[in-house]
Every structure is written in structure tokens, then in C-alpha cells.
Structure 1
Amino acid sequence: MRGYAAIGLYRPKDPKNLGAVMRSAGCYGASLVALQGARFAQASTDTQKAHRHIPVIETEDLFSVLPVGCRVVAVEFIKSARPLPTLTHPERAMYMFGPEDGSLPGDVLARCDDVVYIPTEYCLNLSMTASTVLYDRMMKRGEWVHAQARVA
């Protein structure tokens, strides 16, 4: 498939969730993980050691590391967001996630091209949210066919 998925993490709190996000990034073919407001720490939950295969960038502003033509999709459990099932994933996307114990601030949300939420009874933790979004992207874009070929 053409295009790429990048992950932007705004002030992630827990290294275990960060490790699980890295693992999901490896499983679902994300091309980049960028962190704002946290130091990268390898966690036991990154069983693939995905940080060795997927670039991890630490930055003071996630928008400063956006590739040209990349669209930013915030994933936030707020009323103004639309449900993830209605999203047509951009060819080149960075999915931006807030901290486990908070939300993306309004000035960050205002700079995003789209804001979606995952329709659940309660909010998910950071790693589950990232996994769900990357899975949704893979399924809607038909990328599961390529993943299926690797299993055979």
C-alpha cells in the first residue's frame, strides 16, 4: 500500500504503555513514532524491540516533525470528535494521542486536521487506543491482505 502511518504521543506518562505502542507500531506497520514531553525509555512491553526498526523522535513540538503532506488525526474522547468508524484514513497520516491521565490541549487540537474518538463505554488506555486506530487503518485500507500473506 502507498502512504504511511506515524504516531504522535503528547506527554505519555507510562513507559509500559509507550512500549506497547511501539509493539503495535511494529505489528501494524507504522513508520515513525514521535514523542513530545517525555523521554524515550525502552519497556518490557516492546517485545519486538520496535525502537530498533521504527524511528523514534523526541521533540518539543510534534508538529515540527511532520513530514510534508502529512495530515494529523487527533484521537480524543471529546464531544466535538467524530466516531472512528466514519473516518477515511488519509494516505499519509500522523495519529496524535494525549497522555494517559489527561487530554490533548485545545491549542494542539486546533492544529489537527481531524479529531476522532473510539466509540466505547469508557476511555481506553493509550496503548489500546493506538492499537485500535492502527488496526482500523489496516482494515479499511486493505492492508490486512499484505499481513495475511506474511502468515501463509
Structure 2
Amino acid sequence: MKKDGFACLGLFNPKSPSNVGAVMRAAGCYGANSVFYTGNRYEHAKKFVTDTKKVHQDIPLIGTEDLKKVIPLGATPVAIELIEGAKPLTNYIHPKSAFYVFGPEDGSLNKEVLSWCEDVIYIPTQGCMNLAATVNVVLYDRMAKSANIQLGDDVIRGSRDNNNKVKI
């Protein structure tokens, strides 16, 4: 996948190790550059191996006290949250370089975090999605709207599991 800008992820106090593992897999699939997280709940839970593709070897997963302090240089902070006044993802034009900030599975981003995010977007669904599903949808939307998306059999061959050799 060609790069035009970059995408980094910020996870605010994630709860579930399985969701963080799935976030890391999504980061690898969609070319995110790094993942930061706050809170200590994940620290206690990360001993359970959930990153089955070992994406953490290529994409840093870094704990921090404050996501605002790790906003990558040149990135636009974008909160993803189901709150009134947010912009729908369907109409959103992603910044060239983004720092996507996601709330916890069992709560919301606080007003302090929302205050330093330049945009707040939501995914129009019936009900709320879990953290990993939300990250996948946002990163897929970014990729799908990119002018540099690569398509075709070479992409399929490079992405599929080793056990999948089916052709049509």
C-alpha cells in the first residue's frame, strides 16, 4: 500500500486485551504507523497473547500517561466517539496525517481529550461497536477514500493467508 501521510492510533484506557490485539491486527492491515494507549487496565491484561500476527514487532504499541503529549508532529488529532455534534464518518474527509483517538470499550472520551481533538467523528450504526470493530471501520474508510489505494491480484496475493490459494 502506498503511503500518503500517516495514521497513528490513540486508545484511551482500553479494557480488553483481545480488543487491543485486534486493534494491532487492524493497524497492520491498514498501514497504521503506531498505537499509543493510556491507563493501566491493558497493562494488567496484556499477558494474554492476542496479537496472533505478531504485528507488535512492526508497529509500536506504546503506553503513555497522556495521549495529548504523544500526538505525532504534523498529525491532526481526530476523536472517534458517539456524541452529539460529531460529524458522520460517511462524509468525513480524512486529514493527510491523522492521530485517531478512540475511547474505552466501557465508557467515553472525556471533555478534556475532546477539547484538543480538531475533529470528532462517529460511525452511523444501530447501536455501538466495540473498540476493534470501530478501529477497523475508520482505517478501512481512510484507505477506501485514499487516492493511492492499490487494487488487484498482487494485493490479494500479498494479503491472504498462506493456506488460501483459491482462484476464480
Coarse TM-score class (shorter-chain normalised)? over 0.9
Structure 2 length as normaliser, TM-score? 0.84
Does 2:48 match 1:46?
no
Which structure has the greater CA radius of gyration?
A: 2
Within a 5 Å distance, the mapping from 1:28-107 to structure 2 comes to 28-38=30-40, 39-40=42-43, 41=46, 43-107=48-112
1:57-79 Cα deviation digits (max 9, x unpaired): 11000111112111011000111
How many Å separate the matches in 1 of 2:152 and 2:115? 35
Contact 1:81–1:116, Cα closer than 8 Å, also in 2: yes
Does 2:4 match 1:2?
yes
How many Å separate the matches in 2 of 1:87 and 1:72? 14
Does 2:21 match 1:16?
no
Report the Cα offset of residue 43 of structure 1.
4.7
Report the Cα offset of residue 148 of structure 1.
5.9
Contact 1:19–1:43, Cα closer than 8 Å, also in 2: no
Report the Cα offset of residue 24 of structure 1.
0.5
How many Å separate the matches in 2 of 1:151 and 1:21? 21
Q: How many residues align?
A: 152
Within a 5 Å distance, the mapping from 1:138-149 to structure 2 comes to 138-145=143-150, 149=154
Which is worse superposed, 51-60 or 35-44? 35-44
1:90-127 Cα deviation digits (max 9, x unpaired): 11101100000000001100110100000001010000
The 3 A distance-change label for structure 1 pair 130 and 42 is farther
Runs of 4+ with deviation above 4 angstroms: none
Runs (5+) with no aligned partner, structure 2: 158-168
Contact 1:19–1:42, Cα closer than 8 Å, also in 2: no
How many Å separate the matches in 2 of 1:86 and 1:21? 23
Structure 1 length as normaliser, TM-score? 0.93
Contact 2:4–2:148, Cα closer than 8 Å, also in 1: no
